[in-house]
Amino acid sequence: MNMPDQHIHAAFDRDLERVQALIMKMAGLVEAAIVDSAKALTERDEELAARVREADALIDALEEEVNEAAAMVLALRSPTAGDLRTVLSVIKLSANLERCGDYAKNIAKRTTVLVQMAPIEGAALAIRRMAREVELMMKDALDAYTHRDVGLAQDVRMRDADVDQMYNALFREFLTHMMEDPRNITACMHLHFIAKNIERMGDHVTSIADQAIYLVTGEMPEDNRPKGDRTSYVATGEDDG
């Protein structure tokens, strides 16, 4: 490698490190939002829910910064092969993280409504367990991405079925509460949409794991993950996840 090429490569590495540092900062904020939104629901903490909503603006701003930095790398460095995959995967990651942040914000919004209602026994704790599973999946997906660990990424993809099962179990539980007492309908509908938001987070975390595999292999994995019982999708008219 001659001297000009060395300078170009070093500059590209610096640019890429900056973009990936922004992604990790964004991921840290999203992980905190997932934890705090579930905690706010469980503890009926309106102040914490408000902080989650406010923090989403920081996540959105970081996504814009990541995309601008990635676009600059594409324009100035013209990366090819593996380097190009890295830049493209960063853009995809930022979009997945931003959506997870939006879902956490939506959970926080519904929490401020739910604290004005009588609690549904056991629901908040069950949702918090589901959120905890998604948070752990995200940690592993990001580790798989950082360390180019295809095996760990595949493990994350398979664990999404557990989140689907948790969601379906909660859906049935909420239906039971609503049938037993119509006064529970409003609260259970809010809780159902919260559970649905967390299930959607799991899908976006799975997409991050897909990007880790794409980085290493150059190909997106086939969608052969086991999915949970689809009863809730049929009942709600949703079948796009």
Question: Domain-by-domain residue ranges, the chain?
Answer: 3-236
pTM of the predicted structure, to 2 decimals: 0.87
Return the residue matching tokens 């931003």: 98
Q: Say how far apart CA 210 and CA 205 lie, in whole Å.
A: 9
**SS3 state of residue 183:** helix
Helices in the chain by DSSP H: which ranges? 3-43, 46-77, 81-114, 123-147, 150-180, 185-217, 231-236
* Sequence-separated (6 or more) residues with CB below 8 Å from residue 179: none
Q: Are 156 and 141 in contact (CB under 8 A)?
A: yes
How far is residue 122 from each of residues 8, 17, 21, 119, 128, measured CA to CA in Å? 58, 44, 39, 9, 10
Return the residue matching tokens 């959105």: 60
Return the residue matching tokens 């490698």: 1
Averaged confidence pLDDT in the chain: 89
Split at pLDDT 50, 70, 90, the class of 136 is very high
Over residues 49-78, the mean pLDDT reads 93
Over residues 125-133, the mean pLDDT reads 97
Q: Does domain 3-236 have CATH number 1.20.58.220?
A: yes
Q: Given a cut of 90, is residue 151 above it in pLDDT?
A: yes
Return the residue matching tokens 């519904």: 110
Backbone angles phi, psi at 122, to 5 degrees: 80, -15
Return the residue matching tokens 């905190």: 32
Helices 185-217 and 150-180: angle between axes, nearest 10 degrees: 170
How wide is the angle at C-alpha 219 spanned by C-alphas 217 and 222, nearest 5°? 115
185-235 pLDDT tens trace? 999 999 999 999 999 999 999 999 999 999 999 888 876 565 555 544 444
For residue 44, give the DSSP letter.
Answer: T
Return the residue matching tokens 């997409």: 207
CB atoms within 10 A of CB 136: 14
**Predicted local distance difference test score (pLDDT) of residue 233:** 47
**Predicted local distance difference test score (pLDDT) of residue 181:** 95
Q: Are 207 and 238 in contact (CB under 8 A)?
A: no
More confident residue, 9 or 123: 123
Backbone angles phi, psi at 228, to 5 degrees: -75, 180
For residue 118, give the DSSP letter.
Answer: P
Residue 110 burial (10 A CB sphere; 0-12, 13-18, 19+): buried
Q: Which two three-digit tokens encode residue 46?
A: 């309106």
Compute CA 40 distance to the chain's CA centroid, rounded to the nearest angstrom.
Answer: 18
Over residues 90-94, the mean pLDDT reads 95
**Predicted local distance difference test score (pLDDT) of residue 238:** 46
